[in-house]
Amino acid sequence: SRIGRWINAAPTASATSAQTSATPTESNSVQTVIASRPVLSLSKAVTPNGSVGAGDELTYTLGTSNTGTDTAYDVRLSDAIPANTTYVAGSATSGAEFLVGGAYQATEPSDTGQVSAVRWVRPTLAIGASTSDGFRVKVITAIAANATSIDNTANLTGQQRTAGPGGSTDPASLVAVDLPPVARSVTNPLEPATLRIVKRGPARLIAGNRSSWKITVTNTGRVPARNVKIIDAIRLAAERIVRRCP
């Protein structure tokens, strides 16, 4: 961190006299400490940004910038693969690392279903510098029955390096201070299920005979239907007995 000192010493006070012989009064010196600090910001967007269903691909775009007045160190941008999706092979931008089995690795695995998160690590992010990263995921077919949306959150962390003991700026003696973490989220609603119902049975009934009907319900949408109930009201026809008199 860069720390500067600015001394404001007014040679004459603001209080003066109309008399030309008045002696100016010198004010005390004011010392102001100016400290530099990195400020990390994060933006996140998803395409498409509307409702999605099984088989759709989502593209996440992440923007990182340092809007502060000092260099940020050990800048880490991470993004977990959302539930009910899988990472799309080869879609992460340059420099990505992949979380597989609880550990990050630089090489993308052949089985992308093992990827649970992606991240980008940068040693420094200079004043005014910005980066753009991203990846894609695909909505799976076997969406959880209780799912209503695809939710995704990115997290950004970094450090500030301050002068060491005695004000030393030697890189080896700098003190690391964690910056406030930043998070951004986006959500895509899942499409509603689309149900189609067909009922088949006899066109005519014969008194005294048993009859049966078949009801078929089909989900023609791309997400599971939940709490499906089929109700078929049975109407009882009035029985008429006709007697013929001889």
Nearest to 126 by CA among 172, 156, 158: 158
Bridge partners of 58, per DSSP, are 137
What length is written for the chain? 246
Q: Check if the beta carbon of residue 54 is closer than 8 Å to that of residue 223.
A: yes
Residue 23, helix vs strand vs coil? coil
Residue 244 is predicted with a pLDDT of 53
Give 12's pLDDT tier (boundaries 50, 70, 90): very low
Give per-residue burial for 55-74: e unless 16+ CB within 10 Å, then b: ebebebebbbbbebebbbbb
pLDDT digits (tens, 9 = 90+) for 144-172: 988 999 999 999 999 999 877 777 777 77
Rounded mean pLDDT, 193-212: 83
Rounded mean pLDDT, 27-45: 81
Q: In this predicted structure, which of 20-29, 64-73, 91-100 has the lowest mean pLDDT?
A: 20-29
Nearest to 150 by CA among 47, 41, 42, 220: 47
- What's the whole-number average pLDDT of the chain? 85
Nearest to 3 by CA among 129, 175, 246, 187: 175
